[in-house]
Amino acid sequence: MEALALERKAEQNRELKERIAKLKKERNAIILAHYYQRDEIQEVADFRGDSFLLAQKAAQTDAEVIVFCGVHFMGESAKILAPNKTVIIPDERAGCPMADMVNVEGLKALKKRHPNAAVVTYINSSAEIKAETDICCTSANAVKVIQSVEADEIIWVPDKNLGDYVSKYTDKKMIIWEGYCNTHDMLTVKDVMEMKAQHPNAQFVVHPECRPEVVKLGDFVGSTTAIIKYCKESDCQEFIVGTEDGTGYQLRLDSPNKQFHFATKFLVCPNMKVNNLKKVAKCLETMQPQIYVPPQVAEKARLSLERMLQVK
């Protein structure tokens, strides 16, 4: 029975992939997928990446339609950077709890209390927050962005764990918002130590959105893209992975002969996993749901994103 169900599922996926390929051609569309998406979505994507790479791709593409397989703020960023493109997402319920942890009123109040501070906002935030921001960053370029800012005081929004990590690479005063990524923050020292005991020859690679005491245990600390690159180029053959489990798709693709153990089975973002092949096909058919950002918000938010993309 189980074998039959798997065969049926595989056939449905083949049909969906054919439909998606046809619709993509008809719509002159490109599919961008975050590394945390389901394997089936990463398979049909024209480009896979982390927040930074996908933001770059959205700004550069010649396609008329961008299908953004990620969470809502990522689709917003694509629309802000490519205002003349149609940006659609498979499921508009794919939100980000961390992005919801910061609000415009609170950020404005913080800016009033620290008038000389520059606001650096992690790209995992709403368009409205980006509009109140001097420059955005991602985990891939956060340190470089902080170093590029002339102000001696930084208001950092919204991830306190990434903020703590970045603060170790600067003498600037960091005023850190108390947000966090629900998924990465779940990982504990106990989880990591148990995995290290089970896999003594494995290196621990970890995302800086994890708790500071967990990050401290890392043999390598970096963004999702940096982790993938490190594992591919390293002589080590076994890794304990401290980031969202969707990363496993690209890790296995790049390094098929290496072993990857996720630090805990709970490193799964339910919001990223809301999307599936059926929803990708449907959004291409209906061209809905589309991302809309009010022009006055988009104009201000674009500056913060463009400044980020200019940092080398």
Q: Which two tokens stand for residue 169?
A: 């690479």
Do both 11 and 37 map to the same domain? yes
Annotation-wise, does 230 bind a ligand?
no
- Helix H segments across the chain? 2-27, 39-44, 51-60, 72-81, 104-113, 127-130, 142-148, 160-167, 182-185, 189-198, 212-215, 224-233, 248-254, 277-286, 295-310
> Tens of pLDDT along 106-156?
999 999 999 999 999 999 999 999 999 999 999 999 999 999 999 999 999
> Tens of pLDDT along 92-120?
999 999 999 999 999 999 999 999 999 99
Do both 30 and 9 map to the same domain? yes
In-domain check, residue 26: yes
Cβ atoms within 10 A of the Cβ of 197, count? 8
In-domain check, residue 291: no
Annotation-wise, does 249 bind a ligand?
no
Annotation-wise, does 167 bind a ligand?
no
* CA nearest neighbour of 309 among 57, 128, 74: 57
Name beta bridge partners: 163: none
Annotation-wise, does 34 bind a ligand?
yes
Do both 103 and 239 map to the same domain? no
The single-letter code of the amino acid at 119 is V
> HSE (CB half, 13 Å, CA atoms) of 307?
25
In-domain check, residue 144: yes
Annotation-wise, does 269 bind a ligand?
yes
* CA nearest neighbour of 93 among 305, 265, 283, 268: 283
Please give the tally of structural domains in the chain: 3
Query: Which DSSP state fits 173?
Result: E
Dist. CA 74–CA 24, nearest whole Å:
20
Annotation-wise, does 139 bind a ligand?
yes
In-domain check, residue 83: yes
Dist. CA 107–CA 132, nearest whole Å:
8
In-domain check, residue 267: no
Do both 51 and 77 map to the same domain? yes
Annotation-wise, does 227 bind a ligand?
no
Annotation-wise, does 209 bind a ligand?
yes
Q: What is the pLDDT along the chain (312 residues), one digit of tens a residue?
A: 677 777 788 888 899 999 999 999 999 999 999 999 999 999 999 999 998 889 889 989 999 999 999 999 999 999 999 999 999 999 999 999 999 999 999 999 999 999 999 999 999 999 999 999 999 999 999 999 999 999 999 999 999 999 999 999 999 999 999 999 999 999 999 999 999 999 999 999 999 999 999 999 999 999 999 999 999 999 999 999 999 999 999 999 999 999 999 999 999 999 999 999 999 999 999 999 999 999 999 999 999 999 999 998
Range of the domain at 137: 99-180+296-310
Annotation-wise, does 114 bind a ligand?
no
Annotation-wise, does 15 bind a ligand?
no
Do both 88 and 222 map to the same domain? no
pTM: 0.94
Cβ atoms within 10 A of the Cβ of 128, count? 18
In-domain check, residue 218: yes
Annotation-wise, does 207 bind a ligand?
yes
Do both 276 and 303 map to the same domain? no
226: Cβ contacts below 8 Å, ≥ 6 apart: 140, 220
